């Protein structure tokens, strides 16, 4: 076979293999990953310590800073050079106080009353991941640019286009040379440029906010994803209108943000 024939044949062979076995473009989640924080005990601030106390229910029975834990987990790696710990959000059952109307949805009314603030925002930057107070999990802090304020905080009003700091459970950090991912399967890491409708609690000590697994709704192409609801996807504007209706509705079913 001549050199010219080889030059033509090899690209054709590659195209044929691609056609036969398929080619899948990288998804959004595969293209991006959570930034890794290099943990340093000397860099932990009093603000970080206050935030670390917000996650007492995220226990794994494993002290992530323990050298013994890191060495043991490294022997049975789940991912190359990365240790993964998982925790599902705690289940909190609250009895119905009285029969609820079908509309607005009782769970949405509960969330609207439980939240100090409800905003539409874009994830701007990850600030850092840190250990929780008991060192059994990680939490992360993000800067979020506010696009729309649905429910404002009277004690600290939020301006359109302003950035607020939001903490939430989960994250990725490097400790003693090992990368640790604290994963909540139903509450994926926040990634840059993602848009969310967030039901938040105000942390007055640090003038920050806390996000929750059952109060964080991803927006993609003007569609709101609500995986726990009977209808998993909602038009953004229709969902926001429903949230506003829920804010003014009488509470019939308590909900705890968790």
pLDDT for position 71? 82
pLDDT for position 97? 60
**∠ CA(173), CA(177), CA(178), 5° rounding?**
55
**Beta-carbon count within 10 A of 154 CB:** 6
Rounded CA-CA distance 170/107 in Å is: 24
Rounded CA-CA distance 59/53 in Å is: 12
- What burial class does residue 16 get, using C-beta atoms within 10 Å of its C-beta: 0-12 exposed, 13-18 middle, 19+ buried? exposed
Beta strands in the chain (DSSP E): 37-38, 82-86, 117-131, 138-151, 163-169, 171-175, 178-183, 195-203, 208-210, 216-220, 223-225, 233-235
Sign of the Cα torsion 248, 199, 135, 128 reads negative
| Reported pTM | 0.80
Task: Provide CB contacts within 8 A for 137, sequence distance 6+.
Answer: 55, 58, 59, 60, 64, 85, 87, 131, 169, 170, 182
pLDDT for position 70? 85
pLDDT for position 25? 35
Q: For residue 168, is it left (φ>0), alpha (ψ between -120 and 50) or beta?
A: beta
pLDDT for position 131? 97
Band (pLDDT 50/70/90 cuts) for residue 74 is: confident
pLDDT for position 14? 33
Average pLDDT over residues 232-250: 93
Across 35-39, 110-114, 152-156, 197-201, the highest mean pLDDT is recorded for 197-201
Question: Which is more confidently placed, 13 or 142?
Answer: 142
How does pLDDT run across 98-157, given as a tens digit for each residue?
677 777 888 899 999 999 999 999 999 999 999 999 999 999 999 999 999 999 999 999
Q: Report residue 143 CA to chain centroid gap.
A: 13
Task: Provide CB contacts within 8 A for 159, sequence distance 6+.
Answer: 146
Rounded CA-CA distance 87/23 in Å is: 33
Residue 229: pLDDT above 90? no
Which candidate, 222, 146, 140, 223, places its Cα nearest to that of 188? 140
Residue 93: pLDDT above 70? no
CB distance 171 to 137 below 8 Å: no
Rounded CA-CA distance 220/181 in Å is: 25
Best CATH choice for the domain 25-247 from the list 2.40.50.120, 3.90.1560.10, 3.40.50.620, 3.40.50.2000: 2.40.50.120
> Where exactly are the structural domains of the chain?
25-247
Cα end-to-end distance, the chain, whole Å: 67
Residue 187: pLDDT above 60? yes
Of 20-34, 82-96, 153-167, the one with minimum mean pLDDT is 20-34
């Amino acid at each position: 076979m001549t050199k010219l024939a080889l030059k033509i044949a090899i690209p054709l062979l590659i195209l044929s293999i691609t056609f036969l076995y398929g080619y899948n473009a990288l998804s959004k989640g595969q293209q991006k990953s959570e930034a890794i924080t290099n943990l340093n005990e000397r860099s932990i601030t009093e603000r970080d310590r206050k935030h670390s106390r917000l996650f007492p229910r995220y226990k794994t029975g494993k002290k992530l800073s323990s050298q013994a834990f890191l060495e043991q987990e490294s022997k049975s790696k789940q991912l190359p050079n990365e240790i993964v710990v998982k925790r599902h959000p705690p289940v909190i059952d609250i009895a119905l106080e009285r029969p609820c109307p079908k509309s607005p949805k009782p769970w949405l009314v509960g969330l609207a009353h439980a939240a100090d603030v409800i905003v539409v925002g874009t994830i701007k930057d990850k600030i850092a991941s840190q250990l929780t107070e008991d060192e059994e999990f990680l939490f992360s802090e993000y800067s979020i640019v506010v696009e729309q304020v649905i429910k404002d905080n009277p004690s600290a009003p939020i301006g359109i286009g302003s950035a607020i700091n939001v903490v939430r459970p989960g994250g990725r950090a490097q400790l003693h040379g090992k990368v640790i991912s604290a994963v909540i399967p139903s509450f994926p890491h926040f990634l840059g440029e993602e848009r969310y409708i967030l039901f938040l609690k105000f942390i007055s000590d640090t003038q920050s906010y806390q996000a929750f697994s059952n109060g964080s709704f991803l927006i993609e192409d003007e569609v709101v994803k609500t995986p726990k609801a009977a209808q998993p996807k909602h038009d953004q504007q229709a969902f926001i209108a429903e949230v506003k209706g829920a804010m003014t509705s009488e509470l019939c079913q308590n909900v705890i943000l968790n």
